[in-house]
Chain A
């Protein structure tokens, strides 16, 4: 993708450095509303950094991030917060607040500082909790939740923002298969309702099944981008992941099973 798209969340020519080293080099991608973009790649490729840069939490050295043509840094912070939600990797709630309170944090951008939560906020919180199957422990403090339960509550918080775009970093890490599938279904449903999604995933089957497009990141650069079938070619898997995998379809949906290491990864 080149140039600035007129609508959607777009990064063009993004270069991000941390502690003096370039983590991302000249990365461009675009996500439209209702699209699910999967960002995949080996460890250390810069996936997390990309998402952090897209929400603006870290500055970029070069390039631009725009929302519907406007640079996100030019947006008033609360507007940006209402329109772009972020779910970080390994988030941990420090304090023993209830799940419901935590999910309620997602509504903060929707009201000025002096106002308490209103009916609309409560509605959104309950909806998010229900969608993530977390309603039955809504009143439990988060430090008494299991890992999987906590992941779902954190996702519910991000959904409660009811933003136009959601950037989710490893949203199904640590979830059992049932809940992992459920979360991806929730996200798919939200995307179908108009949410634009950029998710990083390690599970290549999930990536293949749920994403409209994939972006393969390796060593800070975009190595491949396009429909999952194209990006998850044997050649790409060999070059960038160093694996050989068995690809197929089951029940009409693709799957991908890593089989062996090939010991070949592309040198920079």
Chain B
């Protein structure tokens, strides 16, 4: 109890100094911390996407906690690297005792936690969900600035932009109608236009089948609609490690197997594109390959 008060006291003193920075960060939503501000040494991350970005920026030794999802290979591409770190479930009382000098959060579920932490004068940086490809470099910049790795961040952004441009240029979509791709996850959950996955599908040169069915964001599609929509490519988003459930059965339904045999079906792990990180380039690359293969098959069929 006493120790907690001491920790809180020390943190409060630190917090006062960081509060001004935090307020500026939140207000501008595009943080560029004052030059010469000390790097945060005790970073707590409450969001699996910020977890992975921090790890990618090489700041692992300054992390005091990441979410439990970061260590789960189904949700995180960096599960190996997250091993050994203290895992949290996104709750304030888990990370307060760790006396973080920076808390990273997403703008989704943890809002009450964020509000609590802010009220307790912690420095909180909210990194919003990436909805377009352009959000990715912006989020990297926000995060890199918050943790004091601006240079690494700039390098990562440059690499990302270069690789993306190269992919799109080499793919060079031919004239004519775009093939239609439909993304389906366990239980038929699919993403429409206003989502990162929608942006990725569009970048690879596909038209998003979900948009054609009137879905924006995340929606649920019954099996019959998926088959009836008859997209050129069915993208199955599955978890890398599948624990048994009824939802998993949806993706493996015999009707889907029959309707989209062979090259018309591609499986991409959920963690590759759940977060706005440079890893999405891998998904774009695979989709571009799939599109090429479909085009080749169509040409062969026509001959």
- Contact, chains A and B (beta carbon distance below 8 A): no
